Chain A
Amino acid sequence: MLDTTQSAIRVSETLNKEDLSDLIAHRIQVLRVPNFIPQGACREVSAGLKGTGYHDYRNAPQVGRIGMSYFETAKDPEIVDHYFSTAIENINLLRTACAPHPCPMDIFRCTVDEIWDAGCMVQTLYGKKMFVGLSRCMKPGVPLKAHHDMFGRHAPDTPEAESLVSQFGVNVYVDVPETGGELAMWDNEISDDEFLEQRADDYAIPLEKLGAHDVAVKPENGDLILFNARKLHAVLPGEGTDRLTISAFLGFRGDDEPVTVWS
């Protein structure tokens, strides 16, 4: 049961093993590391991302992205091929968009590799490297509806998905509106069948269909936020400006296994 007080959220100055272990063990639900990237870098990375250009998700209109989410493949073999054939070039596209600053996802990957005993690697699937570092742009007034992230739904019957013990969302906040844009989470961990039933034809569950969220975190520019992605979560509408993030999933398979990242 999620602690409905803010004790479910930990704010830490650095990304370290103790906090990551607490998140993985579900002792906390959200880990927030402010100033993971410097403010000056945020402004220039934001400009670089906008200059690169956002395109809407194939299956979630009104959410722009650079790179491609595996969620978009919807098990369509042609789209799956496209995802893998563009994975490495999209990682490089993100790097170029962030230059001269480091791509925040690269720093995240290196840092996790330094703190996690068995290291951190890009997830492979069907013998191919996945993309990592999806950048998303949410327009003001538009929420990201409530959903949970289940690798197994998109890559069913694969050892990579079935071996997963838990899945965490990783977001680096490059440009956030002053008001709104909170990450909202619910206690409930519903089954994927129940989720699919509730969302019906939509890509996720409209916020008005759910009760009040149990936890909310207001991100600031430069924050790194990790959270349990198997709980229902959403992004509340922002006011005034676009909300730009660089995101990934972190997969955990046991204390002696490498953690993996993908988008």
Chain B
Amino acid sequence: MDIVTNPEPITDTNYRPNTTASFVIETDAAQLSQQHLLALAHNEVRVIQVKGFASPEASQTISGGQTDLGFRAYINVDQVRRIGMAFYETENKQDLIEDYFAVVRENQNAFRDACQPFGSPLDTLRCLLDEVWPAGANLQTIFGRKMFVGLSRMVEPNTTFLAHHDIFAEDAPGHLEAESLKAQFAANIYFQVPKKGGELLMWHRHMTTKEFDERRKGQYGIAIDELPEPDVVVKPETGDLLIFDSRRIHAVASPQDQARVAVSFFIGYRGDDEPLTYWS
């Protein structure tokens, strides 16, 4: 397909969203369909932007509720704060894996409570995925245990979420659940977005883990200015849901005026006739 790249020069604080480009599908919750997810899985598009997935009122309540729960830095990424624990943080270490599973239920319920009186948009999305995908959608299991879903994350002003890719098999090497994935998407619902900054930046080119590890120089990701201009720039609005190909290099442009607050999880694709799975 015709991939349109952004022709304009950009600076770190002035990305030009190109949502009209053919690699971003714009839709809403009622229209989100199997075809959209197939287009993403088959590399026809990079991003599905679901406008207004959460209402402005719900977004305000939820971002406040998340803040009250208290964000803490990732174990292995100082600059990004979260509630709950990402499987990525376990780094295949037994004690951290135990820590991860120990707080699953508590954190899932805490997020539901943080949304009240509003319904959790995360639950709605899980149900919607099950409804639109013919083979259904389920919570991912690993080691015979249910994984966590629904990581709240905050990217504070003047910090950058470095460029990285998310590949389940790198966090759970040798496990069938991870190795069987044919595609991996990230789903983010944004409850607070800065007026300036906070864009999702993506690059088309697949980077091998070897190249990624060399270029990240001991950090968790690659500095944006060490990469060419991003091929896809999407500026979410408050309440939007973005679903994108997480195995390609992506980053978050530095928020300028206020923190970017979202809830996030991954969606695993194993074929058109297989159930989707999700986890954080």
Contacts and interface: CB of A to CB of B under 8 A. Distances in A.
Closest 8 A-B residue pairs measured CB to CB? A102-B119, A119-B138, A121-B136, A110-B123, A106-B127, A100-B118, A106-B123, A113-B139
Nearest to A261: B130
A243 B268 CA distance: 41
A101 interface: yes
A122 interface: yes
Given A40-B117, A91-B131, A110 B138 contact: no
B119 A100 contact: yes
A118 B139 CA distance: 9
A41 B139 contact: no
Contact of B120 (A40, A92, A98, A102): A102
Interface in A108-144: 109-110, 113-115, 117-122, 124, 127, 129
Nearest to B137: A121
Contacts of A107: 112, 119, 123
Contacts, number: 77
Given A88-B131, A109-B127, A121-B136, 7 more contacts: A92-B30, A95-B119, A100-B118, A102-B112, A102-B115, A102-B118, A113-B139
Interface of B: 30, 55, 57-58, 105, 108, 112, 115-120, 123-124, 126-127, 130-132, 134, 136-139, 141, 144, 146, 275
A112 to B, nearest CB: 10
Contact of A114 (B119, B136, B139): B139
Contact of B138 (A98, A103, A113): A113
Contacts of B112: 102, 107
Interface residues of A, number: 31
B118 A101 contact: yes
A258 interface: yes
A101 B136 contact: no
Interface in A212-259: 258
A258 B130 CA distance: 12
A121 B119 contact: no
Nearest to B104: A114
B146 A114 contact: yes
Residue among B57, B118, B124, B137 with most chain A CB within 10 A: B124
Interface in A29-48: 38, 40-41, 44
B278 to A, nearest CB: 10
Nearest to A91: B131
A101 B138 contact: no
A100 B54 CA distance: 10
Contacts of B132: 88
A101 B117 CA distance: 6
Nearest to A113: B139
A147 B112 CA distance: 36
Contacts of A121: 130, 136-138, 275
Given A107-B123, A114-B105, A258 B138 contact: yes
Residue among A98, A99, A114 with most chain B CB within 10 A: A114
B119 A98 contact: yes
Contacts of A120: 138
Contacts of B144: 117
Interface in A77-106: 88, 91-92, 95, 98-103, 106
Nearest to B144: A117
A124 B134 contact: yes
23 contacts: A41-B117, A91-B127, A91-B131, A95-B119, A98-B119, A100-B55, A101-B118, A101-B119, A102-B112, A103-B124, A109-B130, A110-B123, A110-B126, A113-B138, A113-B139, A119-B138, A121-B137, A121-B138, A122-B130, A124-B134, A127-B134, A129-B131, A258-B136
